Structure 1
Amino acid sequence: MNTPTKRRGCFRNGCLALVLLPLLIFAGLFWAHRSSQALPDRFVLVVPLSGGIDEVRNESSSLPFLPSHESLSLQELLFVLNHAVADERVREVLLDIRGIHTSPAKIAELRDAVEKVRKGGKKVTAFLRSAEDADYLLATACNSIIAERGGFLLLDGLKVESLFYTSPLGKLGVQVQAAQWKKYKSGIEPFVRTGASKEYLEQINALLDEFYDDYLGYVSKRRGMSRSSFEALINNDPLVSAKKAQTLGLVDGIASFWELQRQLTRKVSGKELARDNDVFVSGARYRSAVAWPQKGESDERIAVITMSGMIVHSAGEMGEGIDIEMLKNSLDAALEDKAVKALVVRIDSPGGDALASADMLQMLDSAAVKKPLVVSMSGVAASGGYMAALAGKTIFAQPLTITGSIGVYALKPNISGLAEKIGLGRDVVTRGQYADASTPFKPLEGQAYNKFVGASGEIYDDFVGKVAASRKMSIAAVDSVAGGRVWTGSRAMKAGLVDRMGGLFDAIHAAQQLAKMDMGKKLQIILYPEQKSWFESLLQGRSASLSDRFAAAVKQQVLHELLPQRQLTSMATFYEMLLTSGQLQMLAVMPSDIIID
């Protein structure tokens, strides 16, 4: 009797289909993605702007066939607009603005980018959806402003709000001990005071005066009205309808977004708006279709290394920010690449861990010996962020960049009152005089407290010494502008803390000159930390299988869309770590966050 032979391996029934079907689906998605990147011969570039504008995008491996609502980062916006200037396919640019909440310097740099597009001969239109001050300030950089039909403008001015936690924490039985170097380093105040100090109010008022002056001056100039008229509107009639805004000359037209699309479609293509019209290209699609970030005319390159977020020893401490290993890997890659002739370090950081900041400066100083290094400050480069900037041969800042804050403070929580309230007992056996000194269950006292304060002073003296050496200033001169004082970029230049006013492209141009590169040729730019595409992330995973990495990428993207990462302020991030860890923290951090909304 003949017994049928069983098929084994991948040719048994159904196995081949299980292998081929996922591959066919994957290939189809890949082909669809590649096809979607082809751009029409003439189109309107639509750039959505909303929420907080991060320096760089946190998600580097988003799947192309899943929709993403994440806004473009500041650097993506700058490069997209820079590409658009010389791209003949881009006939107009439309900024779709809805609720911007970001720093004054970032708005100013975006304004500069919009002005560059205008000077390149292309019309830029702003579409405002019930705008507030930041939205309107950016919109005034455009050729025309269209308000959404039925919308409004809320132009009520600028404010800074501070919260103080000393009393509510005291009711819980929690106190915080602090060491402050020096009196302008006001980051300790929310935990040790019930109201702002005169030094803090002095700084905030000075910053707010500059931001408000820029706001009034820029808007009145661009809209052809007197400064006093615009300020009177803010003070007397802050909430206006779209119709009244047009009457007052604040906007140029009123339309729904659909109506505006119809107008632009007829203007660009001569046709009516329809589903098959390919007139509008989103900023995200355009970014994926062009050579990124910039293709050069030779093999010579400039590396832009971004330090964005809190400075920490290890990113594992908080799931964000710049850590030592990340910076080291970026510097190593840029220094080993022989085609990279110069480095631009782009800083958007309020500082962070004082010792990690010092380590990063040492690494950057070492890199600057091997290749020219220029620093570009973004929205904020203060405290530990300013310390890192000291490595630059030239330091660029925007006039409204927040910088300086040369100072140190230390915080230590004491939860003895809370322990007593809940009846928590504690018995400790130690060896060594200070073995239990840093516990959160009791305050520092006597010699232990003196050492706590003294350590902060030593770090401050070291910080001041670093600034003096780098900026070629005396210790006394540095101390006179340090002590925790916060400066705008324009005032910091007068104080000798930065060299020149300008944005990212100005710093790149200066690096090109320092490296003696051919100034007549368009140079190639590479960005670090390296952001891998979704395809590279799938192929380069080290441990999991391809299918597992694919599933993980889908899961990560879906979770990111459903539960976006919450935005933490510079102080709140460290405060959260302080109160959850219970450990002493030695910080070189900006005392506050200032955003315009």
Structure 2
Amino acid sequence: MKTRTFSFRRSGLFPAALALLFAGLFALPAQAREKKDAAKPVLYYLKLAGPYKDLPETGFDLTSLLGGGSSKPKGFFDLLSRLEGVAKDGKKGWVLVDLSSPSLSLNLAQLDELERVFDKIRSSGKKTAAWLTAASTLQYQVACMCDKILMADMGLLDFKAPSMEVLFYKDLLDLLGIQAVTVRCGEFKGAVEPFVRSSMSAHLKAHYKAMLDSFNHDLVRRVAKARKMPWDKIRKLQAKRLFRAPEALAAGLVDGLTSWENALDSFRRTQTEEFTLKVLSLKKKSLDFSNPFTLFAQLFSGPKEKRFRRDTVVVLRLSGQIVDGEKDSPGSIVAGPVARLAGRLEKNPKVKAVVVRINSPGGSATASERILLALRKLARAKPVVVSMGSLAASGGYYISCLGTTVYAEPGTLTGSIGVFGLLMNMRALVNRVGLHFEEVTLDDSAAMESLFREPSPEFLSFLREFVDATYDRFLSHVTLARRIPRKKLLKIAGGRVWSGAQALELGLVDRMGGVDAAV
């Protein structure tokens, strides 16, 4: 992160303040200046914009590069680390959070972790304030982590409850002449329904609604705590949803209406002593255009593995779809590299414990099994604690359940203990447009996976056996790791998805918390 420092006086304008600053640089010895600056209160300025990713990018963002940029996307844990530093620096001061950017993207689990860091900042004695323009629920949730919330005079607050929309394809597939054939274990494996139904089943809709209610409970709790209002009142305001700035003020959802410039001027006028302004920004790594080979390596090489000189706890971040393979692939959790890395961590005497941070919707059953076995072997040698991010479902839960202790956030989506297989028969579609396929095979099984024939009973029987066996193995892993009897587990498995808070009640995770708690 880069820190820029400026000095202001109560009655001075910006150019005058700069002049005084540079005059001071020449007039005071370096040591004296440092002591003087250390004694000043600090105003920290933080602008939150764009997405913050759990897993650092392995290379540079080519889209950004071609568009004129040359920096990597921002890391969420870099942001947390910077704010932790603010909480621990021992200085008096304020933190001003600019939430005017509509591009801000944080998931529910990240909100929980960010809230804990802001609690530490406030506990350190620093005052915090947020400024909003056109604010969504996300921006408002972050604002509620601060002591004071300001909004632009012409601002808008869209305080909506969580919702979800599911697109159903069956009627379109029928119209096109495409037949979807599914085999699944678990009536609640919702990924299958859009292919075989025209609308959501009643039991799945009720389950999703309960999950959304659990997510929303945490959102409303945060607002009720910040605004010092009853939970029920906040829920009624949320049902109204849209507020112009004066309405938000009248409802007690914000503390004042002002422009950004007026807010800063007002702050400066109220200060009786000189203070330092520090701009909190994440470090950006620049590309080296002077050497084409170096440039290529920067763009496409992965992160270098660290060497440990002293005892340490390693945070192993796994993010993306779980896939089979032997080579790293950005945005995916590839079984081979993860298994080998787990083996190296197991053998490294300097690694005393491992925190596995997981963000994954699942993926390949065989890849999930390989990763689970590697992590289980690691767990026999040293403590392995799991920290779930925003999503650890299906295969993501498969590789999570083995943790000595499993942490989740209230906003984590997890569970989905179930298995399905999906086949498409497109023969009617291609015939309709005048295309015809002829098979030349040595036996009937040679083309059983073809998209242009109806699956044979033998193939469907094999697929059913495979899905059943995989589901049984999934249940066995969870029963062993979580010590949940099979009969009880069947009532919470079957493809059901849960919020982190629900998962805690059901015994699928052990504690609420993030990486900070896991470490």
Instruction: Report the TM range for the smaller structure's normalisation.
Output: 0.7 to 0.9
Residue 178 (1) aligns with residue 178 (2): no
Number of equivalences:
461
SS at match of 1:480: helix
Q: CA deviation at 1:131?
A: 0.6
Give the structure 1 partner of residue 377 of structure 2.
366
**How far apart, CA to CA, are the structure 2 residues paired with 1:430 and 1:460?**
33
Q: Retained in 1: the 8 A contact 2:177–2:429?
A: yes
Aligned pair partner of 1:86 in 70, 85, 88: 88
**How far apart, CA to CA, are the structure 1 residues paired with 2:328 and 2:206?**
33
Aligned pair partner of 1:155 in 152, 159, 167: 159
Give the structure 2 partner of residue 241 of structure 1.
244
Give the structure 2 partner of residue 257 of structure 1.
260
Q: CA deviation at 1:126?
A: 1.6
Residue 505 (1) aligns with residue 508 (2): no
Give the structure 2 partner of residue 455 of structure 1.
466
**Counterpart residue type for residue 284 of structure 1:** L
**How far apart, CA to CA, are the structure 1 residues paired with 2:421 and 2:461?**
12
Aligned pair partner of 2:214 in 201, 206, 210: 210
Give the structure 1 partner of residue 280 of structure 2.
282
Q: CA deviation at 1:303?
A: 0.5
Aligned pair partner of 1:353 in 364, 380, 383: 364
Residue 416 (1) aligns with residue 427 (2): yes
Q: Retained in 1: the 8 A contact 2:414–2:503?
A: yes
**Matches of residues 63-142 of structure 1 in structure 2 within 5 Å?**
72-88=74-90, 91-97=93-99, 98-99=101-102, 100-142=104-146
TM-score by length of 1: 0.70
**How far apart, CA to CA, are the structure 1 residues paired with 2:472 and 2:334?**
24
Q: CA deviation at 1:279?
A: 2.2
**How far apart, CA to CA, are the structure 2 residues paired with 1:193 and 1:318?**
34
Give the structure 1 partner of residue 236 of structure 2.
232
**Counterpart residue type for residue 49 of structure 1:** L
The Cα offsets for residues 291-329 of structure 1, whole Å up to 9 and x where unpaired, read as xxxxxxx93211000111211124989852211134235
**Counterpart residue type for residue 279 of structure 2:** V
Q: CA deviation at 1:264?
A: 5.2
**Counterpart residue type for residue 74 of structure 2:** L
Give the structure 2 partner of residue 305 of structure 1.
316
Give the structure 1 partner of residue 410 of structure 2.
399
The Cα offsets for residues 516-570 of structure 1, whole Å up to 9 and x where unpaired, read as xxxxxxxxxxxxxxxxxxxxxxxxxxxxxxxxxxxxxxxxxxxxxxxxxxxxxxx
**Counterpart residue type for residue 505 of structure 2:** K
SS at match of 2:74: coil
Q: Retained in 1: the 8 A contact 2:90–2:124?
A: no
Give the structure 2 partner of residue 381 of structure 1.
392
Indicate how the Cα distance of structure 1 residues 240 and 207 shifts in structure 2: closer, same or farther if over 3 A, else same.
Answer: same
Q: What is the RMSD of the two structures over their aligned residues, measured on CA atoms?
A: 3.2
Indicate how the Cα distance of structure 1 residues 228 and 496 shifts in structure 2: closer, same or farther if over 3 A, else same.
Answer: closer
Q: Retained in 1: the 8 A contact 2:51–2:74?
A: no
**How far apart, CA to CA, are the structure 2 residues paired with 1:441 and 1:219?**
54
Aligned pair partner of 1:467 in 462, 472, 478: 478
SS at match of 1:180: strand
More divergent stretch after superposition (263-272 vs 308-317): 263-272
Q: CA deviation at 1:135?
A: 1.7
Q: Retained in 1: the 8 A contact 2:327–2:337?
A: no
Give the structure 2 partner of residue 47 of structure 1.
46
**How far apart, CA to CA, are the structure 2 residues paired with 1:403 and 1:112?**
21
Indicate how the Cα distance of structure 1 residues 45 and 356 shifts in structure 2: closer, same or farther if over 3 A, else same.
Answer: farther
**How far apart, CA to CA, are the structure 2 residues paired with 1:235 and 1:61?**
42
Indicate how the Cα distance of structure 1 residues 69 and 138 shifts in structure 2: closer, same or farther if over 3 A, else same.
Answer: farther
Q: Retained in 2: the 8 A contact 1:345–1:373?
A: yes
The Cα offsets for residues 35-91 of structure 1, whole Å up to 9 and x where unpaired, read as x66767565443333455432233555799985686633322222222221124683
Q: Retained in 1: the 8 A contact 2:345–2:351?
A: yes
**Counterpart residue type for residue 85 of structure 2:** H
Q: Retained in 1: the 8 A contact 2:84–2:117?
A: yes
**Matches of residues 542-553 of structure 1 in structure 2 within 5 Å?**
none
**Counterpart residue type for residue 179 of structure 2:** Q
Q: CA deviation at 1:285?
A: 4.1
**Counterpart residue type for residue 462 of structure 1:** R
Aligned pair partner of 1:221 in 196, 201, 225: 225
Residue 57 (1) aligns with residue 61 (2): no
Indicate how the Cα distance of structure 1 residues 413 and 258 shifts in structure 2: closer, same or farther if over 3 A, else same.
Answer: farther
Q: Retained in 1: the 8 A contact 2:3–2:278?
A: no
Give the structure 2 partner of residue 193 of structure 1.
197
Q: CA deviation at 1:127?
A: 1.8
More divergent stretch after superposition (193-202 vs 48-57): 48-57
**How far apart, CA to CA, are the structure 2 residues paired with 1:331 and 1:269?**
56
Q: Retained in 2: the 8 A contact 1:186–1:484?
A: yes
**How far apart, CA to CA, are the structure 2 residues paired with 1:429 and 1:477?**
50
**How far apart, CA to CA, are the structure 2 residues paired with 1:188 and 1:90?**
55
**How far apart, CA to CA, are the structure 2 residues paired with 1:286 and 1:37?**
12
**How far apart, CA to CA, are the structure 2 residues paired with 1:175 and 1:140?**
49
Give the structure 2 partner of residue 521 of structure 1.
none
Query: Quick one: percent identity of the two aligned structures?
Result: 31
The Cα offsets for residues 96-126 of structure 1, whole Å up to 9 and x where unpaired, read as 2234454333222222221122112222222
**Counterpart residue type for residue 436 of structure 1:** A
**Counterpart residue type for residue 137 of structure 2:** D
- Structure 2: state its 5+ residue gaps: 7-36, 287-308
Q: CA deviation at 1:247?
A: 2.6
**Counterpart residue type for residue 126 of structure 1:** A
**How far apart, CA to CA, are the structure 2 residues paired with 1:259 and 1:333?**
56
Give the structure 2 partner of residue 589 of structure 1.
none
SS at match of 1:130: strand
Q: Retained in 2: the 8 A contact 1:80–1:287?
A: no
**How far apart, CA to CA, are the structure 1 residues paired with 2:341 and 2:400?**
16
Give the structure 2 partner of residue 433 of structure 1.
444
Q: Retained in 2: the 8 A contact 1:301–1:339?
A: yes
Indicate how the Cα distance of structure 1 residues 330 and 192 shifts in structure 2: closer, same or farther if over 3 A, else same.
Answer: same
**Counterpart residue type for residue 257 of structure 2:** I
**How far apart, CA to CA, are the structure 2 residues paired with 1:235 and 1:332?**
51
**Counterpart residue type for residue 248 of structure 1:** A
**How far apart, CA to CA, are the structure 1 residues paired with 2:192 and 2:146?**
41
**How far apart, CA to CA, are the structure 2 residues paired with 1:372 and 1:59?**
27
Q: Retained in 2: the 8 A contact 1:180–1:410?
A: yes
Q: Retained in 2: the 8 A contact 1:268–1:279?
A: no
**Counterpart residue type for residue 256 of structure 1:** S
Q: CA deviation at 1:378?
A: 1.4
Q: CA deviation at 1:173?
A: 2.7
Q: Retained in 1: the 8 A contact 2:151–2:256?
A: yes
Q: CA deviation at 1:436?
A: 0.6
Q: Retained in 1: the 8 A contact 2:60–2:72?
A: no
**How far apart, CA to CA, are the structure 2 residues paired with 1:111 and 1:409?**
37
Q: CA deviation at 1:144?
A: 1.0
Q: Retained in 1: the 8 A contact 2:407–2:518?
A: yes
TM-score by length of 2: 0.80
Indicate how the Cα distance of structure 1 residues 324 and 416 shifts in structure 2: closer, same or farther if over 3 A, else same.
Answer: same
